[in-house]
Structure 1
Amino acid sequence: MFARALSADFLKIRGKGIWFLIFLGPVGLIAMQSLNYGFRYDYMMKRYAGNPWGGLMDNVSEFVPISLYLGMTLVCSLIAGVEHQTSAWKQLLALPVTRTAVYSAKLALSTLLLAASCLLLSIGSVVLGLILGFDSVPPILELLRMSFAPFVAALPMLALALWLTVTLKNQGAPVSIGVAAALISPFVSTLSAWLPLNWPALAYRGTESALMMAAGALLGLAIAVTGLVHFNRKDVE
C-alpha cells in the first residue's frame, strides 16, 4: 500500500517543477563558489594551499543550512500543493489506501528528493574542485558528510514543513516559517547549540557532529509521528 502511494506521488510531481528545484539548489551553490574562486582564484588557492578541498568545503558548507531550509519548505509545499490545488484530498483518501500510507509516502518522497539534491551537491563539489585544478584526490567521504550531515540534522524542519503544508490549505504560513528559518539561521550561531536552527551547521562544522545528527533525527521522527497522528484524525476538505 505504501509502495503504491509512493509510486503515485512520483507520478504526480511530473511537470510540477520539483525536479528543477532539486537541481537548482546544488547547482546554485556550486555556481556561487565558481564565481567566488573565479574572481579570487590566486587568493583562494594561496589561502587554502595546504588543504584546497577543505577550503572549498568550508565555503560551500556555509550556505548548506540556508539551502536546506528553503528547499525543504518549497519541496513539501509543492508536493502537498498537488492535492490542495485540485481539492483532491477527499478523492485520494476515499481510495483503498490508509492515511498512514498517504502521509508516509509524501514524507518518503520529500526525503528522497532532498537526499538526491544533497548527493548532487557532493558530486558538483568534486567536479568544481577538479576544474579548479586541485591536485589531491577528492575526499569523497568528507564531501558526502558536508552534504548529508546537515541534512540529517535539519530533518525536524522537513517533518514540520510536511506536517504544515499537508494539513493547511493556505501555504502562506508554512512557507513563511521556512523562509524565516532560512533567513535567521546564519544569525543565531552565537545562541545555544541546542537551538534546532543551529544543528545543520554544527553537524558539519561543530565538534559534536554525531550528537547534532542524532538530535535532528530523533526530533524529526517525533515531529513526523505527531504530524501523522494529526493527519489521521483531521477532517479533509
Structure 2
Amino acid sequence: MMRRVLAADFLKIRRKAIWFLIFLGPFGVIALQAANYGLRYDYLTKIHASDLWGGFLTDIQHLLPVTLLLGMTILASMIANIEHQMSSWKQLLALPISRFSVFSAKITLCIALLFVSCVLLAIGTIGLGLLLKFGMDIPILDVAKISFYPFIAAFPILALQLWLSVIMKNQAFPLTFGIAGAILSPWAFSFPDWFMWKLPLLENKANIPEYSVITGLAVGLMIFLLGSIHFARRDVN
C-alpha cells in the first residue's frame, strides 16, 4: 500500500522545484570547492601535498553539514506543503490507507531524493578531484563516507523537520527552526555527542565517525516512530 502512496508522491513533485533543489545542493558544494581551489590551488596543494585527495575530501566535508541540513529543512517543508497548499490532507487520509503508510511514504520520498543528492555529490567530488589532477588513485571508500555518512547521521533532523512540516500548515516555524539548526551546526563541535545537530559533523569523543552514523540512524528511527504515532492520532487540516 505504501508503494502506491509513494508513487503518487513522486507524481506530485514531477514538475516542482524540488528536483532543482536536489541538484543545487551537491552542485553548490562542488562549485564552492572548485572556486576555492581555483583561487588558492598552489597554497592548498602545498599544505595537502602528502595526501591531496585526503585534504580535498576534508575541505568538502566542512561544507556538508550546513548544506545538508538546509536542504533537509527546505525539502521536508516543500513536500509537506504540497498537501497543505492543495488542502488535500483530509482527502488523502480518507482513502483506505493507514496514516503510518502516508507518513512513511513522505519520509521515504525525502530519503530517496536526498540519496540522489549524495550520489551526485560523490560523482562531482571524483570529477573535480580528477580535473584538479589529484591522481587516479581515487579513495572510493572515503568519497562514499563523506557523501553518505553525514546524510545518515542527520536522519534525526530529517525526521523531526518532516514531522513539524506535516503537522503545521504554516511553514514559518519549521523553516525557521531548521535554518537556525543548520546555521548552528558548524559551531556544534564543542557540544555533547548526543546533540542532534552535531551528528552530521561526524565528530565524537571516541573519534569514530561510525558512532555518529549509528547514533543518528537509531535516534532518527525513534523520532520517525514518534512522529508517525502523533500523525496517526492528530487531525491534519
Question: Normalising by the residue count of structure 1, what TM-score does the alignment of the two structures yield?
Answer: 0.97
Match for residue 163 of structure 1? 163
The answer as to 2:79 corresponding to 1:107 is no
Match for residue 185 of structure 2? 185
Whole-Å separation in 2 of the counterparts to 1:119 and 1:206: 28
The answer to whether the Cα contact below 8 Å between 1:146 and 1:204 also exists between their aligned partners in 2 is no
Q: Give the residue type in structure 1 aligned to 2:199.
A: W
Q: Percent identity?
A: 49
Q: Give the residue type in structure 2 aligned to 1:179.
A: I
Whole-Å separation in 2 of the counterparts to 1:40 and 1:187: 25
Give the deviation of 1:203 after TM superposition. 5.5
Match for residue 121 of structure 1? 121
Give the deviation of 1:136 after TM superposition. 3.7
Aligned residue pairs total 237
> Which blocks of at least 5 consecutive residues in structure 1 are unaligned?
none
Whole-Å separation in 2 of the counterparts to 1:189 and 1:204: 8
Matched residue SS, 1:62:
helix
Match for residue 52 of structure 2? 52
Aligned 1:57-96 pairs, distance under 5 A: 57-96=57-96
Aligned 1:226-237 pairs, distance under 5 A: 226-237=226-237
Whole-Å separation in 1 of the counterparts to 2:137 and 2:147: 18
Whole-Å separation in 2 of the counterparts to 1:7 and 1:69: 25
Matched residue SS, 1:37:
helix
Match for residue 201 of structure 1? 201
Match for residue 137 of structure 1? 137
Match for residue 210 of structure 1? 210
The answer to whether the Cα contact below 8 Å between 1:150 and 1:204 also exists between their aligned partners in 2 is no
Give the deviation of 1:119 after TM superposition. 1.3
The answer to whether the Cα contact below 8 Å between 2:193 and 2:205 also exists between their aligned partners in 1 is no
Give the deviation of 1:99 after TM superposition. 1.1
Whole-Å separation in 2 of the counterparts to 1:94 and 1:126: 47
Match for residue 154 of structure 1? 154
